[in-house]
């Protein structure tokens, strides 16, 4: 009976998937980056097989290429770890609020966390409107451009925010992208004082983003709550409506994920 069960298991086992998981396990065992030769030696797989699997894992963001054609764990396992963590994981709480905000505003809502020093989309609720903006879980938002990534800086003090900007390459995505540190710090001070970040066309032309900072105590990291929409729907009146609703949602989220917190004031 057991022999028959083993035969059935082998019949339905996907060997490529098993090999890919075996490669991922090597990264969980090691704190160092690994190259193709390292992985071939550790797994006993031929280098060409390892190269093919690693390329696929990199494309899907399970692995990330570093200097010298070496690899480390990518963003997808990190997000999966956050989602599959214990019951105090913030993502087990926040999705309901993200969806409620989407339904109220009829615009795409995004939640980010700082993971590996990068502002990363960890959850989203896509708008049902015919013309809408989308995001992707695992997407990295630039810290200096747009609203979703910049809002994370607003949760930091000025010294930490400046240091974070200085650690990253400030890429010019569009003609509206600002790459000068001093101008970015001026923006930081203005937006921190008002409590939210607002940007249009700094990363993606035709897209407006509005975002507020959030602190995630369970994950001990900064993050942001954002709304993205087409420019043509972003009138000043509409932006004011979004800011009001977003702030209500932010307060609910922070109260829900912060142990012992019963009420919060404005930023």
pLDDT at 6: 55
CATH code that applies to domain 2-73: 1.10.10.10
Is the pLDDT reported for residue 110 higher than 50? yes
Region 16-32: what's the mean pLDDT? 83
Residues near 206 by beta carbon (within 8 Å), at least 6 away in sequence: 230, 231
pLDDT at 9: 55
pLDDT at 84: 54
Strand 207-216 with 197-200, pairing: antiparallel
Nearest by Cα to 149 from 203, 219, 78: 203
| Residue whose token pair is 């949760």 | 155
Q: Average pLDDT over the chain, rounded to whole?
A: 86
CATH architecture of 80-257: 2-Layer Sandwich (3.30)
Residue 64, strand partner residues? 72
Best mean pLDDT range from 2-11, 134-143, 237-246: 237-246
- Place 138 in a pLDDT band, splitting at 50, 70 and 90: confident
For residues 193 and 215, give the distance between their C-alpha atoms in angstroms, rounded to a whole number. 17
- Place 263 in a pLDDT band, splitting at 50, 70 and 90: very low
Region of residue 7 (left: phi > 0; alpha: psi -120 to 50; beta: else):
alpha
DSSP H helices, the chain, are: 2-11, 15-29, 36-43, 47-59, 75-83, 91-105, 150-154, 158-167, 181-194, 236-257
Greater confidence (265 vs 6) lies with 6
Condensed to tens digits (0 to 9), the pLDDT of residues 54-102 reads 999 888 878 888 878 888 877 777 666 655 554 446 887 898 999 999 9
- Place 226 in a pLDDT band, splitting at 50, 70 and 90: very high
What percentage of residues in the chain have a pLDDT greater than 70?
A: 87
pLDDT at 2: 45
pLDDT at 142: 93
Is the pLDDT reported for residue 258 higher than 80? yes
The DSSP call for residue 92 is H
- Place 137 in a pLDDT band, splitting at 50, 70 and 90: confident
Is the pLDDT reported for residue 111 higher than 80? yes
Domains 2-73 and 80-257 share a fold: no
Global pTM reads: 0.70
pLDDT at 260: 57
pLDDT at 144: 95
CB 214 within 8 A of CB 225: yes
Residue 222, strand partner residues? 215
Provide the edge-to-edge strand list for the sheet that holds 197-200. Answer: 140-141, 118-125, 108-115, 221-230, 207-216, 197-200
For residues 197 and 187, give the distance between their C-alpha atoms in angstroms, rounded to a whole number. 9
For residues 245 and 249, give the distance between their C-alpha atoms in angstroms, rounded to a whole number. 6
Q: How many CB atoms lie within 10 A of CB 212?
A: 25
Is the pLDDT reported for residue 118 higher than 60? yes
For residues 229 and 174, give the distance between their C-alpha atoms in angstroms, rounded to a whole number. 18
Domain assignments of the chain as residue spans, ordered by start: 2-73, 80-257
């Amino acid at each position: 009976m057991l022999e028959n069960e083993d035969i059935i298991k082998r019949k339905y086992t996907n060997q490529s998937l098993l090999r890919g998981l075996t490669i991922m396990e090597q990264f969980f065992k090691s704190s160092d980056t690994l190259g193709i030769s390292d992985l071939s030696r550790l797994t006993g797989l031929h280098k060409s097989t390892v190269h093919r699997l690693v390329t696929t894992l990199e494309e899907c963001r399970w692995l990330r290429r570093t200097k010298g054609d070496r690899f480390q764990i990518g963003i997808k396992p990190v997000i999966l770890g956050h989602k599959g963590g214990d019951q105090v994981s913030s993502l087990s709480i926040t999705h309901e609020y993200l969806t409620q905000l989407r339904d109220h505003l009829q615009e795409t809502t995004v939640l980010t966390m700082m993971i590996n020093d990068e502002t990363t989309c960890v959850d989203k609720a896509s708008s049902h409107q015919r013309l809408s903006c989308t995001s992707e879980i695992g997407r990295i938002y630039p810290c200096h451009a747009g609203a979703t990534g910049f809002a994370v800086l607003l949760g930091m003090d000025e010294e930490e925010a400046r240091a974070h900007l200085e650690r990253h390459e400030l890429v010019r995505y569009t003609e509206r992208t600002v790459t000068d540190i001093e101008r970015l710090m001026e923006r930081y001070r203005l937006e921190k004082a008002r409590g939210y970040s607002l940007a249009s066309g700094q990363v993606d032309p035709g897209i407006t983003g509005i975002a507020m900072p959030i602190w995630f105590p369970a994950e001990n990291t900064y993050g942001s709550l954002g709304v993205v929409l087409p420019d043509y729907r972003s009138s000043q009146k509409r932006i004011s409506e979004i800011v009001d609703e977003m702030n209500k949602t932010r307060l609910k989220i922070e109260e829900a994920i912060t142990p012992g917190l019963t009420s919060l004031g404005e930023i």
